[in-house]
């Protein structure tokens, strides 16, 4: 009996770590597949060095491509892996192409699927992640939700309530488990940043792929840099476009390689505010009480606005919002329910009960 975890892209790793640890504590046999969707040391390997994650049992080495090329390669590699391992349950994380490919491949072979971070919806079908979320949820036998809104979405889509579990947020488990290891001052000084600085991350296709929107974004970041220095760990997606447009030319924009988890979270914790289009960073800033301005027209994580420090921003209002948070900070309301560092344990309990019930049946 083997539980098989599928990971492959940067945001998968901090979500999977606490689930794998909790199941390991229960003595269950597990296998960790890395699809190879992300492969640079700083997008992948560094998380295995820093977080409580076992070495992957296999790396499928799928790499980059168009959506169809990448998803097809993922499905071919995963099909072979699933047929060899014949897992009792395939556990998938988040909303990346590795998540979708694993859910489709497992479901067609008849292997049950558990989706960690189910039910989030941006209602924006131009985002590849929204398609991945909807399909993955439709095919999942166990759906683990990080927020009550996700449960409401799944209920509206007709998912059997017995399959849905509100468990809190395993990415926040990882954050809380690592708080003692953070050193904001060291991280700031090692990059030569002044005491007051901003952190930015930008990688959504809608922001960085098209040179016209990327150009507007560069101009916006340059204006923001007139308020405070910005450290921008640049995701490989869009790096060439943003650099060609001069993102690194401004003296107060510090463009660096993607950072390891501990350095990144240390910098976020010590920052005056974050400008981002990341999903996970909206949640981490909410937990840390750091103002977050999300450069997107929507979010699949509205709880970070209703309960947290996140605000949606656009080119039209970013500077005004930034001025306001730099002057007054932002009121941090309450922690979202069950974001308490124990989500991995809750997920493990549900899975163990599910395995017992299957054995009995």
Residues near ligand UDP, by CB under 6 A: 10-11, 14, 201, 233, 258-259, 261, 264-265, 278-281, 284
- The interface partner of residue 146, options being ligand UDP, ligand UD1, none and the CB cut-off 5 to 8 Å by kind, is none
Distance from the Cα of residue 349 to its chain's centroid: 23
Binding mask 217-246 for ligand UD1 (x = CB under 6 A): ------------------xxx---------
Distance (Å, whole) CA 202 – CA 238: 8
Q: Residue from 9, 74, 221, 225 that binds ligand UD1 (CB under 6 A)?
A: 9
- The interface partner of residue 115, options being ligand UD1, ligand UDP, none and the CB cut-off 5 to 8 Å by kind, is none
37 binds ligand UD1 (CB under 6 A): yes
Whether residue 29 contacts residue 5, with contact meaning beta carbons closer than 8 Å, is answered with: no
Least distance to ligand UDP, CB of residue 278, Å: 3
- The interface partner of residue 37, options being ligand UD1, ligand UDP, none and the CB cut-off 5 to 8 Å by kind, is ligand UD1
What phi and psi values does residue 186 have, to the nearest 5 degrees? -65, -45
Least distance to ligand UD1, CB of residue 12, Å: 9
Q: How many Cα atoms sit within 13 Å of 182 on the Cβ side?
A: 18
Of residues 265 and 293, the one with the C-beta less far from ligand UDP: 265
Question: Residues touching ligand UD1: how many (CB under 6 A)?
Answer: 19
Distance (Å, whole) CA 169 – CA 359: 28
Sole window of 33-41, 151-159, 247-255, 264-272 interacting with ligand UD1 (rule: CB under 6 A): 33-41
Distance (Å, whole) CA 43 – CA 137: 26
Of residues 41 and 157, the one with the C-beta less far from ligand UD1: 41
Whether residue 17 contacts residue 264, with contact meaning beta carbons closer than 8 Å, is answered with: no
Catalytic residue, from 38, 153, 203, 250: name it: 203
129 binds ligand UD1 (CB under 6 A): yes
Q: Residue from 7, 35, 97, 309 that binds ligand UD1 (CB under 6 A)?
A: 97
Given the DSSP bridges, would you call strands 292-294 and 310-312 parallel, antiparallel or unpaired? Answer: parallel
Distance between terminal CA atoms of the chain? 16
Sole window of 15-23, 90-98, 174-182, 246-254 interacting with ligand UD1 (rule: CB under 6 A): 90-98
Q: Which residues contact 168 (CB under 8 A, 6 or more apart)?
A: 146, 336, 337, 338, 339, 340, 342, 343, 346
208 binds ligand UD1 (CB under 6 A): no
Sole window of 38-46, 72-80, 140-148, 288-296 interacting with ligand UD1 (rule: CB under 6 A): 38-46
- The interface partner of residue 64, options being ligand UD1, ligand UDP, none and the CB cut-off 5 to 8 Å by kind, is ligand UD1
Q: Say if residue 335 is exposed, middle or buried (CB neighbours under 10 Å; 0-12, 13-18, 19+).
A: middle
Of residues 112 and 128, the one with the C-beta less far from ligand UD1: 128
38 binds ligand UD1 (CB under 6 A): yes
Residue 203 appears among annotated catalytic residues = yes
Using the structure block, give the residue that is written with the tokens 């992948």: 44
Q: Which residues contact 334 (CB under 8 A, 6 or more apart)?
A: 307
128 binds ligand UD1 (CB under 6 A): yes
Secondary structure class of 208 (helix, strand, coil):
helix
**Ranges of H-type helices in the chain:** 12-25, 45-50, 67-85, 97-109, 128-139, 148-156, 170-178, 184-190, 205-208, 211-224, 239-244, 261-270, 280-288, 303-306, 318-328, 343-360
Least distance to ligand UD1, CB of residue 214, Å: 14
64 binds ligand UD1 (CB under 6 A): yes
Nearest Cα neighbor of 171 from 338, 1, 358, 2 is 338
- Interface positions with ligand UD1 (CB under 6 A): 9-11, 37-40, 43, 64, 70, 95-97, 128-129, 203, 235-237
Q: Which residues are catalytic?
A: 203
């Amino acid at each position: 009996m083997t539980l098989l975890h599928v990971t492959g892209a940067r945001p998968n790793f901090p979500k999977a770590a606490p689930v794998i640890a909790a199941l390991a504590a229960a003595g269950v046999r597990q296998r960790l597949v890395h699809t190879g969707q992300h492969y640079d040391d700083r997008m992948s390997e560094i998380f295995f060095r820093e977080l409580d994650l076992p070495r992957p049992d296999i790396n499928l080495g799928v790499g980059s491509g168009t959506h169809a090329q990448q998803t097809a390669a993922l499905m071919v590699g995963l099909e072979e892996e699933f047929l060899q391992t014949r897992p009792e349950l395939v556990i998938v994380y988040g909303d990346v192409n590795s998540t979708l490919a694993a859910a489709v491949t497992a479901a067609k072979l008849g292997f049950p699927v558990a989706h960690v971070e189910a039910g989030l919806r941006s209602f924006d079908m131009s985002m590849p992640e929204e398609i991945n979320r909807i399909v993955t949820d439709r095919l999942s036998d166990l759906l683990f939700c990080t927020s009550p809104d996700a449960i409401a979405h799944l209920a509206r889509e007709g998912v059997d309530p017995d399959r849905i579990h509100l468990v809190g947020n395993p990415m926040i488990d990882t954050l809380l488990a690592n708080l003692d290891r953070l050193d904001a001052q060291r991280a700031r000084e090692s990059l030569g940043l002044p005491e007051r600085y901003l952190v930015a991350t930008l990688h959504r296709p809608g922001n960085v792929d098209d040179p016209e929107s990327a150009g507007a974004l560069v101009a916006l970041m340059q204006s923001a840099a007139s308020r405070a220095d910005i450290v921008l760990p640049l995701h490989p997606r869009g790096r060439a476009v943003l650099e060609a447009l001069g993102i690194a030319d401004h003296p107060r924009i510090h463009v660096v390689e993607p950072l390891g988890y501990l350095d990144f979270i240390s910098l976020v914790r010590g920052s005056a505010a974050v400008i981002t289009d990341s999903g996970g960073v909206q949640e981490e800033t909410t937990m840390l009480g750091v103002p977050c301005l999300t450069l997107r027209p929507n979010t699949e994580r509205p709880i970070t606005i209703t309960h947290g420090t996140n605000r949606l921003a656009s080119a039209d209002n970013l500077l005004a919002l930034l001025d306001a948070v730099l002057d007054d900070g932002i009121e941090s309301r309450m922690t979202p329910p069950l974001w308490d560092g124990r989500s991995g344990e809750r997920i493990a309990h549900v899975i163990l009960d599910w395995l017992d019930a299957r054995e009995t049946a």
